[in-house]
Amino acid sequence: MSRDAGRLSLILLFMPFVLWIGLLIILPQLGIGYYSLREKVGFNQFEFGLKNYVDFIGEPVYRNTLLRTAWMSILVTILALIAGFPVAYYIAKIAKERSRAALFLMCLIPLWVSDLVRAYGWIVLLRETGVISTALVKMGIIGQPVEMLYNDITVVMGLVYTVILFMIVPLVSTLQGMDDALLEAGYNLGGSRLTVFRRIIVPYAMPGIVSGCIITFMLTAGSYLTPILLGGKNSSWFTEQIYNQFITRYNWESGSAFGVSLLVFTSFVVWAGLRLTGQSLATTVAKD
């Protein structure tokens, strides 16, 4: 193939990706960034300035909602890691070749149902007149129906359930690359189960752990349906504030500033997380 033809096919192959990134990610982000820097001074009159950000920082409700969203997201990420690691390890290392695909499929099946329907599934189970409450009353374990929705535990549980697959997939793929002989060498040289886990399995799986954590954290912090439906008015999820600014108050400038703040803050959390655990993107996610 000639050089030009090679270049053409490269351009054609990359075009969908470039269009997607450019039109649907970069362009809207630039637009949002642009909007966030506009100050409304009168009807259809705008000036450039940081007033929207100053307002955001000056209002404790917004600030605290963002911090709360970040903390809950970190909690969800940690729980997803703790719950997802054994599952991933079982699929990648213990399960037989044949059952591996079936197990993986079982993890994927929930994704065939939309987020919304899954959230309503939780509602059907957990509400005051729901399946669990009614069953417990019938068995005489509790005296009267209890409301299990609209609290933080439910929100965290629902979010872990929603995002755990995105933790499991990268973990399975890194763990599958691990030679069993490494584990055997770990035992052979005198390591206990704990030592082998701590000094061999975890360091080996670190690329998967880091990418899984980043994906789950970002997905959680940016999720909307699950916290709103399961947490109701109490959820105080930051995406809800963005929604309110855009839709309820029709204040696009302020909403854009919130959106940019969320992106910057979550990116900062990821950066801080990498620094605190002594990892870098180059040695983990980008590792071949």
Binding site for another protein (CB under 8 A): 179, 181-182, 184-192, 195, 199-200, 203-204, 206
Burial of 152 (0-12, 13-18, 19+ CB in 10 A): middle
Based on CB atoms, which residue is closest to another protein, 139 or 181?
181
From the CB of 29, what's the least distance to another protein, in Å? 36
CB 265 within 8 A of CB 273: no
From the CB of 278, what's the least distance to another protein, in Å? 12
Based on CB atoms, which residue is closest to another protein, 13 or 189?
189
Q: Which of 213, 248, 203, 234 is nearest to 78 (CA)?
A: 213
> What single DSSP character describes residue 133?
H
Based on CB atoms, which residue is closest to another protein, 9 or 195?
195
From the CB of 199, what's the least distance to another protein, in Å? 7
Based on CB atoms, which residue is closest to another protein, 49 or 203?
203
Based on CB atoms, which residue is closest to another protein, 191 or 273?
191
Angle value at C-alpha 133, between 129 and 137, nearest 5 degrees: 110
From the CB of 215, what's the least distance to another protein, in Å? 22
144-to-54, 125, 238 alpha-carbon distances in Å? 48, 16, 34
- Four-point Cα dihedral 221, 29, 267, 234, nearest 10: -20
From the CB of 201, what's the least distance to another protein, in Å? 10
What is the distance between the alpha carbons of residues 128 and 135, in angstroms, rounded to a whole number? 11
From the CB of 189, what's the least distance to another protein, in Å? 4
Q: Other C-beta atoms within 10 Å of 182: how many?
A: 12
Based on CB atoms, which residue is closest to another protein, 225 or 281?
281
Q: Which residues contact 147 (CB under 8 A, 6 or more apart)?
A: 127, 128, 133
